[in-house]
Structure 1
Amino acid sequence: MKALIKLFSPVILLIFCPLILSGQELGDTFKSLNVSDGLPQSYVSGIIQDRKDFVWLATRDGLSRYDGKKFKVFREGENSSYTLSSNIITNLFLDRSGRLWVCYEQGDWDVVDTDTEKITRLTADKNFQLLRDKSKSGRSIIQISDSVYWILGRDGVVYTVNFLQKKVTAFRSDQLLKGLSPTFITGITWANQNIILITSHALVYMRPDGKILKTVNLTFNKSGLFNPKRSWKDNSPLVRKNGQLIIPDEEQLILYDSLKNDFTVIDLPKQQHYIVPPLVMDKSENIFLGYANMIFRLDSANRLSRFTAETTPDTKNISMLLDKSDVLWAGTNGYGVRQYDLYLTQIPKLSYTASFHEQILEKLKISAEEIKHTFLHGISTYFFRWTTGNDGKIWMTKAGADSVEKPNLIYFQNGKLQRPKWRYGTESQHPHVGINALAVSKSGKLWGIDNALRPVFFDTRTYTAHTFEAIRHRYDKNKLNEVNGFVIDDEHIFWISSSLGLIRYDQNNKSVIHYFNNLPIRQLMAVCQDPLDRDVLWLGTYSDGLIRFNKKNNVCSYYTKKTGLPNNTVYSILPDKNGLLWCSSNKGVFSINPQTGKIRSYVTKGEIPVDEFNRFHYFSLPDNQMAFGGTEGYTVFNPESLVDDTYEPHIALTNVKINNRNSSLNDPDSPLTGAINDVEAIVLPYDKNFLAFEFSALQFNIPEKLQYRYMLKGLDEGWVTAGTDNVATYTTIPPGSYTLKINASNTAGVWSGYVKSLRIIITPPFWKTLWFITLCLLLAGGLVYYLIKRRIRNIRTKDLEKIAFERESMELEAQAMRSQMNPHFIFNCLNSIKALIQEDDKKNAVTYLTTFAKLIRNQLYNSQREITLHDEITTCQLYLQLETLRFADRITYGFLIDPGVDLHRIMVPPLILQPFIENAIIHGILPRPGKGKIIVSVTKQQDDVICSIDDDGIGRHKANKDRELRKPHHISKGTLLVETRLNMHNALNRNNFSINIIDKTDDSQNPSGTSVILTFNPTL
């Protein structure tokens, strides 16, 4: 029995195939791309989507790349760097490295790098010429490794190509299949790291090294494939995850189940045509194939159905692609490309046969005859008002300024239209005009606001209408104020929206509060109570977006195009059962989650999209469906049936204009180093800073629904929302380093996680560059340094001249002082000699004179500015000898010299010690009774030399008193001259000589002498 079923299964399928094919035509609605859209030619022989999501299309007039907005066309000879071998292309193949293999009708091959757009003329290279005019239209090609390919040629020959080694090898079928016969290779594919060859009578599984793993003979009602030797014949299969092969063969599909090792044949309607490869497969493993002028679908359960309606007989689908966003592309033989959205459920487009509200009443199964007997027949939908009561009744009325004798109010419930007989209450002094808004309170009470802004209560038990005094508002009476909705709180608080603003009206105390009438909100168009938060109202506006209004604290949140709305005009707001708010606009329908603010946008599906909707053209049906009416049609849908778009499109940079000029690699002045979308950074001079960037999101379902935002980091503080505009323009960008970031949303308004980045460097003019500024600073610094140096040199020269002059003056002054000291000393010595001669002490006089002569000779020899300390000590010794001779035994003296002091190397001014020794003798020792003593010592303390003259005389205090008695106002010139000379010596020689005079006392604090200490740094 099983064998019989297997035997007759093709016959059964053939019998029931028309029944299968008569199912729902899911793909009847499509979008077309043709020459008017920028396609170079309408014969589309190949379609490929590359790694960055661009779509490439092969035509008979060049290759084009599509980004959802426009086509970029490559042709033969149009530029030297990026030129094709021919314009007539038969097919395309994209390898794993992003290389696009282009096969031409005359047999040539090119390879296009889809990242850089660089074109390599493959068969122009002698190493690849073996491929010319040998392949089967370029369709049957597989990639084995990064650089190794197998290409199926005519007559069953297989060509192996090593792209990097530039090597092509041809294998005949008998060489490759090792004697299997009769055989002819007609298809090839790659699956699970193995090669599968389709031959005229078998399937061959082979390893890349050529070893045959398995051979499966074709075992079905025909002994082999149709016409295997035809040059156009291509049986390259698709392979499902379970290993099942789907092999196209003219008017049939051959299914091979590798697990069961059996074949199934599915026949297509006889069209005297053949299945055109390639076959494409979606994520659910449904397979789409082009056949004649239709597209068929083979689902995962191998049920065949017609996907598209039959078109004109001469229209044939000759290429196919299923892109990453689940759009099916079908290239035709002269009618461009057709796009079918397999995933996104768009809201349907319905055409008007009557007014919107009458079309909706028909959806409620209300006949046209019933409608004719109501006030709704023939009125404009702009006057149609409705609301749904707590009991499910849908109340409908008519708006307008016309007075009515009785209320126009009917309702629909349980499939029937009811027309109650209404009357006015006796207290109603003013029968109302048309009801502009209806609302139901929480307890179920039905209220209306008429055209004159009067509240009207409708008693639905007695069908009595009670009209109240008009609300006293502050609106300008000369302006049209159209009420478009209201909401009831606490049974007596009315929130009324109108074209002039929002009113809070308390029915109990008649108080009125106005909102928005003083704000720049152009018009309110709709009001809706938040489904979950009773403190929140949602307001639609004419051109200011959607407003979330908190009734308690009057805080507003605004939703506009900048925050994701498709359009800033919101005509209506309808809540669904899940708490979402659905709104109509001038750019389709969108939903918003009132809790999260998440926005989803939808457009109608049809030949003429109903993007622009109208005021008051909305309705909620009892079966959870919603209806919105527009200018060219209307839509009815169930919100739960719509699929959210979760696709995240990549962003492509498609053009850069620099100073209003397009950048091109052909332009020698272009800053581009490669294809614009492949460039990571551009460097521009300061005078080319007027930039416009064109970009596109690579999602092809509904490109017009995609939103864009961009930011020039370093200049913009945040994202700039551009809506559907895909151009970012910046003028006079200052020099600096920036990063352009571009982001896009999908069709639902959800921002993609992919962000396109481009570094932009604007170089400053040379006079603003760091090196120039540094050079200028260095030059300025050098000039300033030179001027300062020159000034200092001049000042120093003048100072040196002045110092030299002052030094010379000081030298002369010092000589003058020395000349003053010498006479003073000589005068004293001569007086002493005179005294000895007078006393007739010849011996001592001779000794004195001899010693004086030595002293004079020593002084004459030491007339220079400085002498050694040894010479100064010698002079002092001679002087003390003279004074000892002069005053006999009144004076004793001693010299204590530190052995560590080299007196011959220490230079001092001449006669620097003698005046202090003289003062010690004259004013210290001689006035005292008895003998006195003078000790001259020279010691060293670190780097200083200490010379001290110590006496045991009467001390300076008593000596001064005595001198004052003898010679009033006398000033000791010797000590003064020494101090003056030391100061000059310090100034001339930059030394630091100092004098310190110490008055000595005994244990009883009585004066006991004087100690003079001279401290100086010796000049070595």
Structure 2
Amino acid sequence: MHWIKNWRNTVSCSKYLMLCSVFFLASPGAGAVASAEPAIKLNNYFQESWTTRDGLPHNTINSISQSDDGYLWIATWEGLARFNGRSFTIKGRGKQTGLPDSGIRAIARDNAGALLVVGSRGGFARRATAGWQHWPALNVLLNAVAEDSHGGYWLASEGQGLFYQHTDGSRRQYTTTDGLPSNVVHSVLVDTAGRVWIGSGRGVAVITPDLPDSITTLTNVPPIPVFALLQQRDSLLFGTERGLYQWQAGNTSLLRPELAQMPVSALLQRNDELWIGTTDRGLLRLTAGVLEQLTIDAGLPNNRILSLYQDREDSVWVGTNGGLFRLREAPFVTYDTERGLAGDYVRAVLAHSDGSIWVGSSQGLNRINGQQIEQLDLSAYSRGQSVLSLSEAADGSVWIGTYTDGALLWRNGRVERHLHRDNGLLTNEVRAVLPDANGVWVGTAQGLNYVSANGVTAYGTQHGLPAPFIMALYQHTDGRLFIGTGGGVAIMQTDGSISALDFSALDGAEYAFGFTPDPLLDLLWMTTDRGLVAYNLADAGLSMLGRNVGLPFDKLFQAVADNSHHLWISSNRGILRLQRDNLTAVLTGKQDSLAYELFGESDGMQSSQANGGSMSAAALAADGAVWFATSKGVSWVQPGILQRFASHVPPVVIEGLRVNGAELSLQQDIVLAPGANRLEFAFAGLGFVMPQRIQYRSQLIGFDDDWIDRGSQNVAEYTNLPPGDYQLKVAAAYPQGGWSEHHANIRFTILPYYWQQPLFWALLTSCLVLLLVLALRWRLLQLKYRQQQLQQQVAEKTVELQRQADYLTAADLDRSKLLEQLKIQAQEFALQARLDALTGLANRRAFDEALARECARSRRAKLPLTLVLLDIDHFKHVNDTYNHSIGDEILKLVASLISSHCREDDTFARWGGEEFALLLPNTSALVARDICERIRQAIMLTDCSAVAPGLKLTISMGIAEYAGEAQHERLLSRSDSALYQAKKHGRNRIDIALPM
């Protein structure tokens, strides 16, 4: 499920053309356009694209639709691609679809919600949730299909006119001899009145219900190709080769004068917005009289638009000649140089009391008011105009800390004051500025200054600072000044004394990047290079919330509490969001771990790398938005928007079942043969806004007592299930959203072996009872016989004992030798029990012990550990083509090759069949990938001619790095999933499992 995505969420104003200023329609179709501005500007939509590199069979996207079960379907010239948000599954010609060719031209939905599919060689099929249905091919390219109210289908062809497929299977053909303007039909539409509209190669024609045998051509539309038809409330739109026309109440006219020569190829009505695809000029959107354009320069894969579609989550999908493209609303919006910022590398952001946002970057200073971005010129005082820090004074003026030019005071539209090394600052690198009633605190790279009417005072390590590098300042309401440095936090009391906080018990924390007061808990949050520190303002207690409570990384830059008191924290690897209730529960010891959400590029940020090390790197705006300084612009999020995303509940489907490693076709009431001891179910939540964030839970009725939370893992594995009847239920949800009400479910039965059946055990019990009775009788007879011989045996034994006494010394010596031999044999037997007889490698039992031991050591010592599962590709073909003895030789050959690449501390075992397992202590996943690549190359280049002439070997590998799971079976499951992905994507490759 690895995609390569072209992510963009901002588009330069200079790269999309405003074809028209605000202009209200005067035509009769003005009702199609709302009187309000769109909620989101076209350049604020988040962009994503997919191509053949991501799994599409072809980059020309002819048509797009969504089925009732939630899948997105994409028509291409190389098949129909089914998309679940993570990966594509290709459907082409064959028995399943009944299509004569893989070239798919159009997809439409019928009256029952099923998909109608038409394409090359006249292929016509219907896909419903229950399965596929198809009709005899027409042997001509079909461009479009539409169902009427009678259940018949209208089929548009390329050169043979229009066909009507009756419900009884018979067909009628309409051509130019029947009144069609052209035998080339590009589009067809059945409107709510039952009229059939025909977009031909020479204009528009219509068939009315009252005259089904008569075709009327519209005279007001030029005799040119008509590619798209769209019904609006009380009108129709015709997209032609030269213009967009509107039909209303029998009258036809151009919709807009500026669209007169526009080659329109696709149309979409989305709420009150009209989206227009063109053949060579990109994508247009018409809203409230405003016409916007998006082209290849602004992110489109190609300017030729073939299809438009709005899915159930309100995303707009665009089919182009260069791939699949999507525009959607994202939680984050980013402003960068393409939007008017002076520089992309933003270090400081300030929410001003007047509602504006000040942004300091490595190239200058900007002020944002609404959609307007103003650049403030500091060149007279700052040569580089590299801004490090920002802070607002009580009168609304702004202090600006720079990288090389000291601190500047901006007031009344100009710089009124300039502090630098020559007039008292310790250095010109100013990372923190904090004005108070009498002056201003200036934190520099070489210490702290206080500038007032009395002059400039300097503070350094000799005054109690733990380090001279100052990054953050905060003054509490009681007058205490908190100073964040590169060596910890110091507090300056109101009497001027400075003392450093003791960070020795805080996991080695040193750098203090920012301070955030929390009046609700009477805490001061400190963001550090080891996590989030809670400082109790009342008793000076310190608590570390870092990896110890589940945070994914150490370094946190700036925390901001939103209006709901949830905490947003910037980092080098994205923006964390911590829920207030969970945060409080962890602090009070009621919960052991922090639940977090991590936002990055997929959520609208241009870069997930936020910046820190200066004051301040994040801010809360007056409208509730949270702003962050990043390495690629300034990003902001409106927290309330997350609830809107969570309100979408994605449908969920079960997509695959593997039994003992073999793929099994899905159906209800599956009956599995005895010995089905390893079942792996794959499922997918069909949500496309945030597919990687979808959460899953499952319950196996007959085995699980309750729902099992799967997190974002879309695989459930069960091993060694006892025989019986089961039902798997799966639900999906977006984070903080509701679970899907309609569960995906599948029922299956595991049959027992004969020895697991009750009748077998009843017969076995009866036989045992009978044997016990016979044994008892035989024992009684034996006792009687033994009694008769007892006296004779006593005499004989007396003589025998005397003889044995003579040889007692010799017997003792022999007994010692025998015990030593038995001990050696026992050791050899124990060793053999842990080795694979064929390859001489460790067996499954030995490997399981090693895995448990190494996982415990990795968790205890915090050392990396990587597991690799390896599988010989097409090994069944080796056994079938040659024989099993050759297969055994190949297994020994592969085992020897891999062993040669292993270290002394590595554990290499035969996992079973053609599968091997390799455990790499003190090795990360990336290093393991290099080792595995060498193994893969060695096996691929191995000459097997001595064993099996003509045989070429390849191997697939799945890598998973241990993430501290309490149950190492999860590590096995993630590695096995990665191996499955490697084999699924072509074999002879290496896949790495995503971290937990």
Within a 5 Å distance, the mapping from 1:75-154 to structure 2 comes to 75-77=92-94, 80-81=95-96, 84-113=99-128, 115=129, 118-123=131-136, 131-133=138-140, 137-144=142-149, 147-151=151-155
1:416 aligned partner: 414
Contact 2:461–2:468 (CA under 8 A) maintained in structure 1: no
Instruction: Quote the sequence identity (%).
Output: 14
- Specify which of 58, 68, 86 is matched with residue 41 of structure 1: 58
Counterpart position of 1:370: 378
Question: Within 1, Cα distance between the matches of 2:751 and 2:567?
Answer: 52
Q: CA deviation at 1:86?
A: 0.5
SS of the equivalent of 1:286 reads strand
1:745 corresponds in structure 2 to: 734
User: Which residue of 1 is the match for residue 570 of structure 2?
Assistant: 584
User: Does the CA-based 8 Å contact 1:735-1:762 persist in structure 2?
Assistant: no
Q: Which amino acid aligns with 2:761?
A: C
Preserved contact between residue 509 and residue 528 of structure 2 (Cα < 8 Å): yes
CA contact (8 A) 1:348 1:636 kept: yes
1:347–1:603 contact (8 Å) kept in structure 2 = no
Structure-2 change in CA distance of 1:541 and 1:626 (3 Å):
same
The residue aligned with 2:166 is: 161
Counterpart CA distance in 2 for 1:189 and 1:140 is: 8
1:905-954 Cα shifts (integer Å, max 9, x gaps): xxxxxxxxxxxxxxxxxxxxxxxxxxxxxxxxxxxxxxxxxxxxxxxxxx
Structure 2 CA distance for partners of 1:548 and 1:67, relative to 1, 3 Å: farther
**Structure 1 stretches of 5 or more lacking a match?**
1-7, 14-19, 124-128, 401-406, 664-669, 796-1020
- 8 Å Cα contact 1:481-1:499 kept in structure 2: yes
Alpha-carbon separation, structure 2, partners of 1:508 and 1:718:
59
SS at match of 1:289: strand
> 1:281/1:660 Cα in 2 relative to 1: closer, same or farther (>3 Å)?
farther
- For the 8 Å contact 1:325–1:647, the answer to whether it is kept is no
| Alignment match, 2:457 | 465
Residue of structure 1 equivalent to 2:232? 239
Residue 560 of structure 2 contacts residue 568 of structure 2 at CA under 8 Å; is this kept in 1?
yes
- Residue number in structure 2 paired with 1:227: 223
Deviates more, 1:485-494 or 1:636-645: 636-645
How has the CA–CA distance of structure 1 residues 445 and 605 changed in structure 2, closer, same or farther, with 3 Å as cutoff? farther
Deviation at 1:282, TM superposition (A): 0.9
Report the CA distance between 1:280 and its aligned residue.
1.6
Query: Does structure 2 conserve the Cα–Cα contact (< 8 Å) formed by 1:67 and 1:652?
Result: no
Which whole-Å CA distance do the structure 2 matches of 1:195 and 1:12 have between them? 19
Instruction: Tell me the CA shift for residue 61 of structure 1.
Output: 1.7
The 1:283/1:683 distance shift into structure 2, 3 A limit, reads farther
Contact 2:366 2:375 in 1 (8 A): no
* Aligned pairs for 1:191-210 within 5 A: 191-192=191-192, 194-197=194-197, 210=209
C-alpha separation between the residues in 2 aligned to 1:588 and 1:276?
A: 40
Which residue is equivalent to 2:86?
69
Decide whether aligned partners of structure 1 residues 485 and 762 sit closer, same or farther in structure 2, where only a CA change above 3 A counts.
farther
Relative to structure 1, is the Cα distance of residues 472 and 12 closer, same or farther in structure 2, using a 3 angstrom cutoff?
closer
Q: Show the counterpart of 2:967.
A: none
SS in 2 for 1:320: strand
Aligned residues: 704
* Superimposed CA distance per residue, residues 484-507 of structure 1 (whole angstroms, 9 cap, x where no aligned partner): 434333434344555666666655
Match of 1:296 among 265, 284, 289: 284
How far apart, in 1, do the equivalents of 2:104 and 2:769 lie? 73
For residues 171 and 439 of structure 1, what CA distance do their matches in structure 2 show?
81
| Residues 354-396 of structure 1, C-alpha deviations (whole Å, 9 max, x = no match) | 864445743149988734634x8487x7xx3443334334334
Distance 1:776 1:183, change over 3 A: closer
The answer to whether residue 636 in structure 2 is matched with residue 634 in structure 1 is: no
Q: Secondary structure at the match of 1:743?
A: strand
- In the TM superposition, residue 246 of structure 1 has moved relative to its aligned partner by 2.0
Listed one character per residue, the Cα deviations across residues 585-639 of structure 1 (whole Å, up to 9, x for unaligned) are 34444666757979877656999931222323736599988764444x2225585
Residue 324 of structure 1 is matched in structure 2 by 312
Q: Identify if the C-alpha distance between structure 1 residues 247 and 547 changes in structure 2 by more than 3 Å, giving closer, same or farther.
A: farther
TM-score normalised per structure 2: 0.57
Distance in 2 (CA, whole Å) between partners of 1:738 and 1:522 is 50
SS at match of 1:254: strand
Residue 73 of structure 1: CA displacement? 1.5
Shift of 1:575: 5.5
Structure 1 residue 247, shift from structure 2 partner: 2.7
Taking the aligned partners of 1:360 and 1:627, their CA distance within structure 2 comes to: 19
Q: Using a 3 Å threshold, how does the CA distance of structure 1 residues 647 and 684 change in structure 2: closer, same or farther?
A: farther
Give the equivalent residue in structure 2 for 1:776: 761
Is 1:392–2:396 an aligned residue pair? Answer: yes
Q: 2:85 is paired with a residue of what secondary structure?
A: coil
> Matches of 1:717 and 1:520 in 2, distance apart?
37
Residue type matched to 1:418 in 2?
E
Alpha-carbon distance, 1:226 to partner: 3.0
Distance 1:265 1:606, change over 3 A: farther
Looking at structure 2, the residues matched to 329 and 585 of structure 1 have their Cα atoms a distance apart, in angstroms, of 32
1:47 Cα deviation from its structure 2 partner: 1.6
Given residue 66 of structure 2, which amino acid in structure 1 is its aligned partner? Q
C-alpha contact (below 8 Å) 2:334/2:633 kept by paired residues: no
Q: Secondary structure at the match of 2:365?
A: helix
Q: Measure, in 2, the Cα distance between the counterparts of 1:722 and 1:568.
A: 22
Q: Distance in 2 between matches of 1:511 and 1:623?
A: 34
Partner SS for 1:615: coil
Q: CA–CA distance in 2 between the matches of 1:227 and 1:276? A: 16
Which amino acid in 1 is paired with 2:281?
N
Measured after TM superposition, the shift of residue 88 of structure 1 is: 2.0
- Looking at structure 1, the residues matched to 176 and 29 of structure 2 have their Cα atoms a distance apart, in angstroms, of 37
Residues 709 and 721, structure 1, Cα contact 8 Å, conserved in 2:
yes
User: In structure 2, how many angstroms separate the alpha carbons of the residues matched to 1:395 and 1:614?
Assistant: 19
1:67/1:697 contact within 8 Å kept: yes
Q: SS at 1:246's partner residue? A: strand
1:535 Cα deviation (Å)? 0.9
Q: Find out whether 1:573 has 2:559 as its counterpart.
A: yes
Q: Deviations over 1:41-62 (max 9, x none)?
A: 1222222221222221222222
State whether structure 2 residue 76 is matched by structure 1 residue 59: yes
In 2, Cα distance between the equivalents of 1:408 and 1:355?
Answer: 19
Q: Secondary structure at the match of 1:226?
A: coil
2:122 maps to amino acid: G
User: 1:248: how far off?
Assistant: 2.7
SS of the aligned residue for 1:370 comes to coil
Residues 244 and 109 of structure 1: CA distance in aligned 2, closer, same or farther (over 3 Å) = same
Per-residue CA deviation, residues 505-553 of structure 1 (Å, 9 max, x unaligned), is 6555958584664244766654332465371333435475x56665457
With over 3 angstroms needed to count, the CA separation of the structure-2 counterparts of 1:173 and 1:55, relative to structure 1, is: same
CA shift for structure 1 position 699? 3.6
1:529 is aligned to 2:516: yes
Which residue does the alignment assign to 2:245? 254
Change in CA separation of 1:24 and 1:49 when aligned onto 2, cut-off 3 Å: closer
The Cα shift of 1:767 comes to 8.1
Distance 2:65 2:307 in 1: 10
Q: Deviations over 1:105-155 (max 9, x none)?
A: 222323334x35x444421xxxxx6x553x8x341412426x543445677
Larger Cα-atom Rg: 1
Distance 2:565 2:751 in 1: 56
The corresponding residue for 1:848 is none
Structure 1 residues 566 and 760: CA distance shift in structure 2, 3 A: farther
User: Would the alpha carbon gap of residues 620 and 485 (structure 1) be closer, same or farther in structure 2, given more than 3 Å must change?
Assistant: same
Change (3 A) 1:268 1:683: farther
Q: Any conservation in 2 of the 1:107–1:132 contact (CA below 8 Å)? A: yes
Whole-Å separation in 1 of the counterparts to 2:261 and 2:461: 80
Per the normalisation by structure 1, the TM-score is 0.56
Aligned position for 1:854: none
Q: Is the 8 A contact 2:117 2:125 kept in 1?
A: yes
CA deviation vs aligned residue, 1:315-362 (integer Å, no higher than 9, x gap)? 5222222222233222233x2222223676632344775864445743
Structure 1, residues 942-999: CA drift from partner, whole Å, max 9, x if none? xxxxxxxxxxxxxxxxxxxxxxxxxxxxxxxxxxxxxxxxxxxxxxxxxxxxxxxxxx
- Contact residue 366 and residue 417 of structure 1 kept, 8 A: no
Partner of 2:254: 265
**How far apart are 1:458 and its partner, in Å?**
4.0
Residue 613 of structure 2: aligned partner: 616
